[in-house]
Amino acid sequence: MNIKEGNILITGATGFLGSHLVRKLHAEGFNLIGLKRYGSSTHRLNDLMKKITFYDADRDDIASVFKRHQIHAVINTVADYGRDTQESSAVLEANLMFPLKIIEYCVKYKVGVFINTDTLLDKSTNSYSLSKHQLVSWMLFYKDKINMVNVKVEHMFGPLDNATKMPYWILGQLMKNVEQIELTEGNQKRDFIYIDDVISAYIKIIEQLNSFSSFEEFELGTGSAVDVKYFIEALKNQFAGRQKTNTILNFGVIPYRENEIMKIQACISRLQLIGWEPKVTLNEGIIKLVDNFLLESKSDLGDFKK
């Protein structure tokens, strides 16, 4: 299967991961179809909105998208984290029911492969992780009808991330120069991976599709985990080196969430076997993140403004 002869359909195309994938794959010459929600902000892809075909998943007839375009692969990047008081049914709709419907269309219209973005969180952590694990069960159910690739991504970060996610939320608080940021002790270990390395892994997977079995699974991270406290302190240090802030990081004030996992670290050996290695060190990624955040703060691109 030469994937460049057909189209790649990307769900969640205007989100953080989706938009970075769209930008890179477009630059590499792939033919892309983007699915997004009506009303979703397109600020990450404003310069590409007229160069790529987009459909609204909640308004357009999705079946007609598959009828109209020869789609060779689907990359699912939809992620509803179920924050605040959101009901579990809404999380389930986004993370399970919607991609399951896409899989059914893939089977019906003979799409070659469904590539899913999953999580390394245990299924018992929250409604988000449970719904993601449930989708994988359905992928296994359908693997004899369409090839499946499941990518379990650890804590990715980078430019134009969501304002509610930890790295940008911390930077937003530093930008506002709040008196203090109340935090847990921060002893959880996470495998932070910069978005450029995430995208390069997806590209490598796409290049190797013809060598895969009917179901392949990869863990995507750097292969090393650090304390969340270290990451947050490094964020503040890099920010303070560029813009004054008096904000105090108040660790230990907030208890860990229920079912908190104290260490998550990706095993990247499977990705290494197909020729992928992370290239951006943690400190390099943090520097890039802070520099881009400050540039966004001077433009209308910053998601933390919305």
Contact 29/4 with Cβ under 8 angstroms?
A: yes
**Which two three-digit tokens encode residue 93?**
């709709």
Give residue 5's pLDDT band: very low, low, confident or very high (50, 70, 90). low
pLDDT tens for residues 97-154?
Answer: 999 999 999 999 999 999 999 999 999 899 999 999 999 999 999 999 999 999 999 9
Helix (H) or strand (E) holding 99: helix 98-108
CATH entry, 3-153, from 3.40.50.720, 3.90.1300.10, 1.10.530.10, 3.30.43.10:
3.40.50.720
In DSSP terms, 141 is beta-bridged to: none
Domain spans of the chain? Answer: 3-153
pTM above 0.85, yes or no: yes
| Cβ-proximal residues to 64 (8 Å cutoff; 6+ apart), any chain | none
Q: Using the 8-state DSSP alphabet, how is residue 7 labeled?
A: E
Q: State how far the Cα of 246 lies from the Cα of 299, in Å rounded to an integer.
A: 24
